[in-house]
Chain A
Amino acid sequence: MSFAVKIENLSKQYRLGLIGTGTLSHDLNRWWHLVRGKEDPYLKIGEVNDRTLKSKNDYIWALRDINLVVESGEVLGIIGKNGAGKSTLLKILSRVTAPTTGNIIYKGRIGSLLEVGTGFHPELTGRENVYLNGAVLGMKKREIDSKFDAIVDFSGCERYIDTPVKRYSSGMTVRLGFAVAAFLEPEILVVDEVLAVGDAEFQNKAVGKIKDVSRVDGRTILFVSHNMNMINLLCQRVILLENGLVSNMGEPQEMINQYISIVTKGQEISESERNSIAGDEYCKLISVRLVEKNKSDISYIDIEKEIGVEFIFDVSQPVNGVANINLYTGDGTHILFSSEKERESFYQPGRYCAVTWIPSGFLNTGLYSISVYFTSLIPYKIHFEKREILSFEVFEDIRNRNINYVGPIPGIIRPVLEWEVIKLN
């Protein structure tokens, strides 16, 4: 089989810190080195992008020496923690940004499904937007003409096609956007998390379409998702990115297991994140981990284990607030919200450790993720939020079941409910 995409020594460097300050002096210095025929002084080799460590350098490598061959017709999954470089890789592939070093050779057209409805204009009608969006994604007007009816049909928006898009519900906008993108026919399709939106029926439709694209049409797909079920379902091969490096590649299930062991591990929040999303002038998130009853790190999570979510944060100014978490399924369905209490409490400056316990026998088997927050209620303000900072998988030892059924039990949660069955006659 021949290759569809060949990535050679690909690296991408970003500059950290405030935008604009100091760029002029760096530009001048860089220019001065170039004039003397020397190498760019800011392209020092070797630093790995690990966000938990404070970088000594202002420049970090979002991707480092990626080498990868994607066969044509293959569906390749790309997984990794937030910040591992997945999106950067897709951005380079879809030509939104250029690599710093290395190159990518590809055959045919690359189409990207980075976010549906890209370039939709709210004042224009559905029809006008289908044309505009199609053209933005690289289709010719003639192509759109011939596919127009199929696109509208797939989206299920026939009745509103001549209504301005600003009157659409968000679900309709997404459906129309996806429909346009689904009928894009590039040889290589780059897909980023687009399937996380829309209702279940539409998601099924979308997954079906992606399957068709690869199996029936034989096109190559690069697929990024946090949804491990989707990865398992769609991909033939998976690469696992960690800190901008390819840490492993292989069978989907095996890679998913590795991924889960990485994301279940406790995490320190990096200095730069504490000063942005994971903190403000009142409090900063320090670390998050999952613990057992005895407060040691949890590794293997059995369905009968209690799971403790522990997070440590610093309060630097007195503040009223509550610590709280959100719990999601692996495909992003919000299961529950839980906070310390319903009223805010008063926090003196100092270091705090919050733990909340997810009871045993509550979650079903499968993947879950957790977001942690600290919020003031009056006036409402989120002091820090760290979305989906940890993921974990709940396993079950089937021998412990006290029923004679060994197949999977459906459902998101699985609490044991009281039952009462009486004979009526």
Chain B
Amino acid sequence: MEKISTLTPRKEILDLRLKEIIEYRDLLFLFIKRDITVTYKQTILGPLWFFIQPLLTTLMFLLIFWKIAGISTNGVPPVLFYMGGITLWNYFSESLRLTSDTFTKHASLFGKVYFPRLITPISIVVSNLVKFLIQFMLFLGVFFYYFFTDAAINPNITLLLIPFYLFVIAILALGFGLLISALTTKYRDLTFLIQFGIQLWMYATPVIYPISGIPVKFRPFIEANPLSSLVEAFKYGFTGAGTFNSGGLLYSFLFSIILFLTGLVIFNRTERNFIDTV
């Protein structure tokens, strides 16, 4: 006997149909594969761009923030300090940037065929993870160079928490991206805001400066940013310099989970009718 299903106007807020995602897992894998193969097709340098981008950014930061502005890096070699921050930050910003226009960017596809829409943002976050891992290899190379030449580098046991940091960042980017993408279907202005917002957000995150470099009275603002303790702890794990704030990490974790669930609920509600408003 075939399965009997019903299409209805309203649906339960918490009916997230996660089972459907599992049913469509092949599509998820194919999307991830597509995202990765397509990114650098027909570029001369191909996957080398994965390396060039963080290298150039590091170089630029080195020039502007280290040489010209003279911002402290906690005694850590600036190349290592900046590259660590950039690698992790890039994962977050790229995931957020690409998930935040899920509905508007894929409107023509979504307008023709049904599949769980959530597949698209999830595939973006996962394919970006692959990109992150490649850039992370580059970072590891730089790290080992300094590790063998600079005695002040003190990697420690907190490195084991890196998968946890990545998980929290992925959930945070996804949750925020889901929320924004759902809202942009109605209020298009957000698209502009988010591009700009991501740039500003980086400066509110200890990518180019250590938290210890911030005047104490401003610190709560920086610490309210759920990314701060993650980036700081990531650098601390490799260098031993900076702060490892377990309370801050717990805050980031809870913040991300709540944001993610909220995003998921709103995304699911939007999914049903967004094609009428886009």
Contacts and interface: CB of A to CB of B under 8 A. Distances in A.
A136 B113 contact: yes
Contacts of A99: 7-9
A262 interface: no
Given A15-B276, A20-B188, A91-B275, A98 B112 contact: no
B36 to A, nearest CB: 11
Interface stretch (A127-135, A273-281, A295-303, A373-381): A127-135
A103 B188 contact: no
Interface string A265-293: 00000000000000000000000000000
Nearest to A135: B27
B27 A124 contact: no
B109 A98 contact: no
A96 B111 contact: yes
Contacts of B188: 19-20
Interface stretch (A114-122, A196-204, A234-242, A244-252): A114-122
A23 B5 CA distance: 32
B109 A119 contact: yes
A123 B34 CA distance: 9
Q: Is the interface of B mostly helix, strand, loop or mixed?
A: mixed
A160 interface: no
B6 A20 contact: no
A108 B2 contact: yes
Contact of B109 (A103, A131, A135, A136): A136
A128 B114 contact: no
A334 interface: no
B105 interface: no
Given A14-B276, A102-B9, A105-B6, A23 B186 contact: yes
Contacts of B187: 20, 23-24
A115 B110 CA distance: 12
Contacts of B30: 131-132, 135, 141
A229 interface: no
B115 interface: yes
Nearest to A106: B5
B34 A103 contact: no
Given A19-B277, A20-B188, A97 B272 contact: yes
A235 to B, nearest CB: 23
B275 A96 contact: yes
B276 A136 contact: no
Given A20-B188, A96-B111, A105-B6, A132 B276 contact: no
A284 B4 CA distance: 49
Contacts of A118: 109, 112-113
B149 interface: no
A115 B273 CA distance: 20
A137 interface: yes
Interface string B194-206: 0000000000000
Interface in B6-31: 6-9, 24, 26-27, 29-31
A104 B186 CA distance: 27
B277 A98 contact: no
B188 to A, nearest CB: 6
Nearest to A20: B188
A175 to B, nearest CB: 18
A118 B33 CA distance: 18
Interface string A24-35: 100100000000
A414 interface: no
B116 to A, nearest CB: 10
A136 B272 contact: no
A19 B184 CA distance: 12
Contact of B5 (A105, A115, A135): A105
A138 B4 contact: no
Given A119-B109, A136-B113, A98 B34 contact: no
Given A20-B186, A124-B34, A100 B9 contact: yes
B91 to A, nearest CB: 24
Given A99-B9, A104-B7, A105-B6, A114 B113 contact: yes
A119 B30 CA distance: 12
By Cβ-Cβ distance, the 4 closest A-B pairs, closest first, are A95-B114, A108-B2, A135-B27, A98-B272
15 contacts: A96-B112, A105-B5, A106-B6, A118-B109, A119-B113, A121-B34, A124-B37, A124-B38, A128-B33, A128-B34, A131-B30, A135-B26, A139-B26, A141-B30, A187-B2
